[in-house]
Copies of this chain bind each other. A is one copy, B any other.
Amino acid sequence: MQKARTKDASAPVGRWGAREAGIIEVATRLFSDKGYDGVTMASVAHACGLSEGTLYNYFKDKSDLAVRASLVAFDAHADEAETIVAEATSLRTGLERLIALELTILLEARGMMRVWLREVRGAQDYPKSPARGVLRRFSGNLIQLFEKFGAFPDPKSGITFSLIRDIVFGSAEHVVWTAYVQGRLDSLDIDRLSRDLAAAYLRAFAIAPRKTRTRTNGKARTTRGAR
């Protein structure tokens, strides 16, 4: 799959990499706008100022291009998410920023998510490793945020980190989709939405501090402690 990199590690790779990166950048924009089926290889080539055949020197086929573009996109997003978690000074603000990030991604790259889901997660035979890794890195940040602040859902509540992830990401997706379908994308107030959703989630996820963390006031303000 991977295009045979030249033996020389220096410039050629860079050159080559630059060309590849350029294609991916263009393709990402197109996929985001029009979705997988709405993009033709010809349109990608044209937008790159290349010929169709050239694309096949860099990517095995259309699916490969989509997958690689997805990986790059998600990799970047995962980096942002990581930064958010690292810089977070409270669970609440961190959560707000993660939600805002997710909403922004969906807003800007609605189609890319579909591509990801369809081509990456959907393909059984695709080597899961890189995709898995990136996805894990991305959605894992949400969990790490909670762990960073020693916030764990009460086992009795049935809420798991996995469920939290589904709720946060699923809700965001549906919110954006609904807005899109109703033609309200422009009026989406991401900041406000993120705050409201974060607050709701913190109420929802019966959060309890974990013993490992030195929590003086332990049990009491679990929910509130999330502030």
Contacts and interface: CB of A to CB of B under 8 A. Distances in A.
Interface of A: 35, 37, 117-118, 121-122, 157-159, 162-163, 165-167, 169-175, 177-178, 181, 192-193, 195-197, 199-201, 203-206, 223
Contacts of A169: 174
Given A204-B200, A205-B200, A171 B162 contact: no
B174 A162 contact: no
A170 B174 contact: yes
Contacts of A163: 175, 193, 196-197
Tell me the number of copies of this protein.
4
A118 to B, nearest CB: 8
Contacts of A121: 181
Contact of A175 (B118, B170, B178, B200): B170
Contact of A181 (B122, B170, B175, B206): B122
A196 B205 CA distance: 10
B158 A196 contact: yes
Contacts of A201: 204
Contacts of A223: 203
Contacts of A35: 118
